[in-house]
């Protein structure tokens, strides 16, 4: 007697899998760069940013609760596209993806880190600040990068100069960018988005003033 085939699981019993992220650079004009000190802030902070029109959220691996924050946002804020920032090792890559990160951002790159990010299965933005680093990544087929530290490394003038000989490279500049300077970056053809934290002022976060965070995020979402 042939045993009955197991019945197919119902749609409601199958866990949803987030859709792939085609390009971090095209999700929103600004990617909030988030440092989570208190894990309890992670979900309400992410909800405020998403409500304000900034779905791509880079949680930096700078605090002990960062991975738990990524895990919480991935589980409880379905409209967020949460990623990990300050990724500087293969272990960071593995831990971040396991926690639910849907993209990775590094301040710089090495051969071993690049290999790990390439094998992660999620989009990534390796950090660059020189022309040689950009060319080296283009040789590897990587055309989307983080430009860091943006203001200290030459700002808009430097990026505009790169656009002539290296038009295939696209950037997310991060580091020292403000609401006043962001539009100048976003006007460049080789800039897809910018990273910043001005929509998360320390006093608003300390006061749990998520309405203010949402308002600042909404202003940032209209900068393009």
Q: What domains can be seen in the chain, in order of their start residue? A: 27-220 (3.20.20.70)
Confidence of residue 11 (pLDDT cuts 50, 70, 90): very low
The answer, yes or no, to whether residue 105 has pLDDT greater than 60, is yes
The answer, yes or no, to whether residue 17 has pLDDT greater than 90, is no
Average pLDDT, rounded, for the chain: 93
Catalytic residue, from 58, 144, 189, 214: name it. 58
Catalytic residue, from 37, 111, 146, 189: name it. 146
In angstroms, the CA 123 to CA 5 distance is 38
Residues 70-88, mean pLDDT to the nearest whole number: 98
pLDDT for residue 19: 74
Active-site residue 219, yes or no?
Answer: no
The answer, yes or no, to whether residue 8 has pLDDT greater than 60, is no
pLDDT for residue 59: 98
pLDDT for residue 10: 41
pLDDT for residue 21: 76
pLDDT for residue 65: 98
Q: Which of 203, 218, 212 is nearest to 44 (CA)?
A: 212
In angstroms, the CA 75 to CA 69 distance is 10
The pLDDT tens digits for 58-74 are: 999 999 999 999 999 99
User: pLDDT over 70 for what percent of the chain?
Assistant: 92
In angstroms, the CA 2 to CA 87 distance is 52
- Let me know the angle formed at the C-alpha of 121 by 116 and 127, rounded to the nearest 5 degrees: 50
Query: How many Cβ atoms from other residues are within 10 Å of residue 5's Cβ?
Result: 6
The pLDDT tens digits for 42-53 are: 999 999 999 999
Active-site residue 37, yes or no?
Answer: no
The answer, yes or no, to whether residue 112 has pLDDT greater than 90, is yes
């Amino acid at each position: 007697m042939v045993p009955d085939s197991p019945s197919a699981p119902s749609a409601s019993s199958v866990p949803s899998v987030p859709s792939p992220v085609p390009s971090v650079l095209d999700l929103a004009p600004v990617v909030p760069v988030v440092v989570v000190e208190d894990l309890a802030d992670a979900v309400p902070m992410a909800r405020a940013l998403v409500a304000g029109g900034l779905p791509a959220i880079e949680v930096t691996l700078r605090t002990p609760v960062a991975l738990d924050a990524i895990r919480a946002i991935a589980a409880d804020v379905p409209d967020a596209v949460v990623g990990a920032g300050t990724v500087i090792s293969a272990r960071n890559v593995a831990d971040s993806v396991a926690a639910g990160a849907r993209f990775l951002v590094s301040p710089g790159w090495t051969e071993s880190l690049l290999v790990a990010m390439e094998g992660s299965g999620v989009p990534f933005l390796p950090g660059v600040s020189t022309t040689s680093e950009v060319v080296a990544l283009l040789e590897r087929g990587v055309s989307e990068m983080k430009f860091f530290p943006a203001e200290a490394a030459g700002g808009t003038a430097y990026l505009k100069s790169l656009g002539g000989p290296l038009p295939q490279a696209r950037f997310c500049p991060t580091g020292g960018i403000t609401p006043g300077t962001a539009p100048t970056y976003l006007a460049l053809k080789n800039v897809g988005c910018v990273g910043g934290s001005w929509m998360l002022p320390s006093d608003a976060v300390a006061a749990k003033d998520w309405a203010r965070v949402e308002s600042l995020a909404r202003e940032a979402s209209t900068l393009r």
